Amino acid sequence: MRILGISGSLRKGSYNTALLRAAVALMPEGAQLEAGSISGIPLYDGDVEASQGIPPAVQALKTSITQADGLLLVTPEYNNSIPGVFKNAIDWLSRPSADIPKVFGGRPVGVIGASPGGFGTILSQNAWLPVLRTLGTKTWFGGRLQVSRAGNVFNEAGELTDEAIRTQLRKYLAGFVGFIKEP
Ligand SMILES: Cc1cc2nc3c(=O)[nH]c(=O)nc-3n(C[C@H](O)[C@H](O)[C@H](O)COP(=O)(O)O)c2cc1C
């Protein structure tokens, strides 16, 4: 089993990218999490799509999603919602719309996130729900992971050092893998 994880942050010191890296290492046996990236994805422009087609970075990520058994979105929260760069990436990935069933349709999706604030991306995670419904994904609701006070749970090297969060992340991943395996 192979899951593709995507962090919705571009910055090097991103807590969400650090959370994704931690998740890669905490996957249950027999399942792999590969870290994808939204880096290099341009701003969506319908004129560019019409004249040049799907940009290579988008096409590569589309292929990776299509080949994965599941998709894990690791989302930051901006202004109580989805960061524009992450939404922009998913918008590109949903083009052309005829490919939506192949890329997203029935695909198991999990959403987790980390924030230095006290609510751990709860509103951003909620804001993903109408998007995931529109794309026809099979979103997992059996577990939640909102990493709050992220400055206290990762060390300077971006390693997840908080044992309680490591346990929660391990449990989340095991649950998500179990969900994907369900007939
Ligand atoms: C424009 C902007 C808006 C933000 N709004 C929120 C917010 O609504 N809730 C929150 O918890 N954090 C908010 N933050 C703080 C982010 O959670 C913080 O910058 C976080 O480190 C971003 O994720 P990253 O570390 O993966 O890059 C905001 C940050 C920016 C730049």
| Each residue's pLDDT tens digit, 32-45 | 999 999 999 999 99
Residues in contact with ligand 1 by the CB-under-6-Å rule are 9, 11, 14-16, 76-80, 115-117, 119
Q: What radius of gyration do the chain's Cα atoms show?
A: 16
pLDDT band at 131 (very low <50, low <70, confident <90, very high): very high
Report the pLDDT value the prediction gives residue 121, as an integer from 0 to 100: 98
What's the whole-number mean pLDDT along residues 58-70? Answer: 98
Of 138, 177, 139, the residue nearest 30 (C-alpha):
177
Q: For residues 15 and 115, is the Cβ–Cβ distance under 8 A? A: yes
What's the whole-number mean pLDDT along residues 47-70? Answer: 98
Residue 52 Cα to ligand 1 midpoint, Å, equals: 33
Closest-CA residue, ligand 1 atom 20, reads 115
